[in-house]
Amino acid sequence: MVKGMVLLTGINLGFVKDCWQLARGYWSSEEKWRAWGLTAVIVTLNLAYVYILVLLNTWNNRFYNALQNLDIEEFFSAQLEFCVLAGIYIIVAVYQLYLQQMLEIKWRRWMTQQYLDSWLAKQTYYRLQLIENSTDNPDQRISEDLRLFTNYTLRLSLGLLKAVVTLVSFIAILWQLSGTLTIPVGGTEVTISGYMVWVAILYAVVGTWLAHKIGKPLTKLNFDQQRFEADFRFSLVRLRENSESIAFYGGESREGQSFMGRFGSVLDNFWQIMKRQKQLTWFTSGYAQIAIIFPFLVAAPRYFAKEIQLGGLIQTAAAFGKVQDALSFFVESYPLLAEWKSVVDRLTGFVGNMEKVNALSDNGADIHHVPTPALTMSGLSIYLPDGRLLLSKLNLSLTAGDSLLVAGPSGSGKSTLLRTLSGLWPYAQGDITVPEGQSSLFLPQKAYLPLGTLREVLLYPGPRQPVSDEDIYTAMSLCKLEGLKDQLNRVEEWSHVLSLGEQQRIAFVRALIHKPEWLFMDEATSALDEPTERVLYKLLCEHLQNTAMISVGHRGTLNSYHKKKLTLDGAGCWSMLTL
């Protein structure tokens, strides 16, 4: 059966290696002494817990014998012993769980920090989407899978330790208590030593095997249930995110059908879970009830033969229960093992993809940060992920106060040139020299507005120096956003509240506040009317005279705000014009 479980869950040497690869970081980190120390205490408490169970089992013998013998002194002495044992049991049970959870949360905190660092480093979060078979939902890997990994690893390994120690201890006890059973077979007699042990093993194995057979479809059904619930939730979230477009299209009935379709899957699957759960409950309730009387039934012949007293009988029944519990652990953990395996696979895939992305970033254009005032590109070629050439051998140099307009048909690689200059696009060759220690700001077509107050939105990603409210007001007025002045402290989902044009003006406020040495704009005024566009570009020329500007745009009006124009054709060719 164990071999079958191994095959079904896919747990093998490779899995153990992957698991250790994921876990080893923490256990050899700067926190390792605390982690190992805590583990040692938890293991000790687990062993102490089993030891107290053994003592409580022996106590049964003493207590019930006292009752049978009407020995009042022994009865009260046993009561006292029970109070002491129960007191220790409670303390051990509380701290065993508390410390295990403490270890789990410390481990998860450490891993989350590491994964977040790797995900954010070198813009891995962006580049992950550029590779083939990229990780789906990296957010789920970090928030959900790390939680499950630490939880399952501790639960399963400590649970296994406890089950094995309990099994060994109680098999030894049960063996001692069982004595021998003599069964007449034909003309001879067969003597079975430790017969209760064999019966307990048989009872547990048959019982858990049957429970496993009946309950096995539940693993897949529960997995599907989570997926169907997530699909249903996702469709509701999409309506919220695209509420305006859907309202304009009047797509409510189409959306309603899609919601009910997805909710229908939730319901159908839940009916199947209920039916299967009912069958399982029939079985497990019956099995649990029989487990109460079954050991008495098996041990009764020795009791009635006066080979053991009432205490011995009760102790035997209790030990029988413990052996059976410990054996059940292995089968009950089966669904958990399968889930643990998929968590480990998902995390291993995520880590592998992050490493792949890092290796890829080393293959891109050589970006040198040097103490020169110029941004230069020499022999810069840019490709698509499939190897198609977008731009061939571009040579260009820009210094403070320069302004360059990048033009060309849609899809010709204008935005990709900006991505390459920012170090985001790995499919490039050539040399880029970036002035060291100078700041840059990127204004995309749709500015990113973080959650928070309007002040936080305007100062994103954080100013180089403290900025007074006066400075913010001035920049807002210049960008025609004075109407929002009294809302600086208001928390909103600003990307839903502000119009696209207002969001683009927010980006210009940022530029005026940050005063970067290099300003990249990718169709940053596409949603604005031409007079407003003119006002904003004039502002940049007046207030950011030392800033070099690189803009991407289609509109002819942009020519007048730039000194040079680079035109791309999307097949590698480019031309440079002085305006």
Ligand X SMILES: Nc1ncnc2c1ncn2[C@@H]1O[C@H](COP(=O)(O)OP(=O)(O)OP(=O)(O)O)[C@@H](O)[C@H]1O
Binding residues (CB under 6 A) for ligand X: these are 130, 384-385, 408, 410-416
Query: How many angstroms separate the CA atoms of 22 and 34, rounded?
Result: 19
Minimal distance, residue 571 CB to ligand X, in Å: 11
Pair of tokens at residue 566: 């680079």
Please enumerate in sequence order all residues whose Cβ is within 8 A of that of 357, keeping only pairs 6 or more positions apart, or say none. 122, 124, 127, 128, 130, 131
The closest alpha carbon to 162, from 88, 36, 51, belongs to 51
Nearer to ligand X, 113 or 557 (CB): 557
Query: How many angstroms separate the CA atoms of 119 and 115, rounded?
Result: 6
Minimal distance, residue 397 CB to ligand X, in Å: 22
Minimal distance, residue 209 CB to ligand X, in Å: 51
Residue whose structure tokens are 């450490």: 110
Residue whose structure tokens are 């592998």: 352
Minimal distance, residue 412 CB to ligand X, in Å: 4
Nearer to ligand X, 24 or 388 (CB): 388
Nearer to ligand X, 77 or 567 (CB): 567
The closest alpha carbon to 207, from 381, 328, 338, belongs to 328
Minimal distance, residue 393 CB to ligand X, in Å: 18
Minimal distance, residue 495 CB to ligand X, in Å: 20
Nearer to ligand X, 506 or 566 (CB): 566
Give residue 387's region: left, alpha or beta (phi > 0; psi -120 to 50): left
Pair of tokens at residue 340: 């643990």
Q: Bridge-partner residues for 394, per DSSP?
A: 380
Query: How many angstroms separate the CA atoms of 419 and 424, rounded?
Result: 5
Minimal distance, residue 413 CB to ligand X, in Å: 4
Amino acid symbol at 318: A
**Omega prior to 371 cis, within 30 of 0:** no
User: CB–CB of 86/205 below 8 Å?
Assistant: no
Nearer to ligand X, 4 or 411 (CB): 411
Query: How many angstroms separate the CA atoms of 115 and 129, rounded?
Result: 17
Nearer to ligand X, 333 or 412 (CB): 412
User: CB–CB of 8/338 below 8 Å?
Assistant: yes
Minimal distance, residue 383 CB to ligand X, in Å: 9
Minimal distance, residue 523 CB to ligand X, in Å: 7
Minimal distance, residue 479 CB to ligand X, in Å: 24
Nearer to ligand X, 53 or 365 (CB): 365
Three-class SS of 257-326: HHHHHHHHHHHHHHHHHHHHHHHHHHHHHHHHHHHHHHHHHHHHHHHHCCCCCHHHHHHHHHHHHHHHHH
User: CB–CB of 520/443 below 8 Å?
Assistant: yes
Nearer to ligand X, 379 or 385 (CB): 385
Nearer to ligand X, 284 or 415 (CB): 415
Nearer to ligand X, 84 or 384 (CB): 384
**Omega prior to 531 cis, within 30 of 0:** no
- Measured at the CA of 389, the angle between CA 387 and CA 394, to 5 degrees, comes to 135
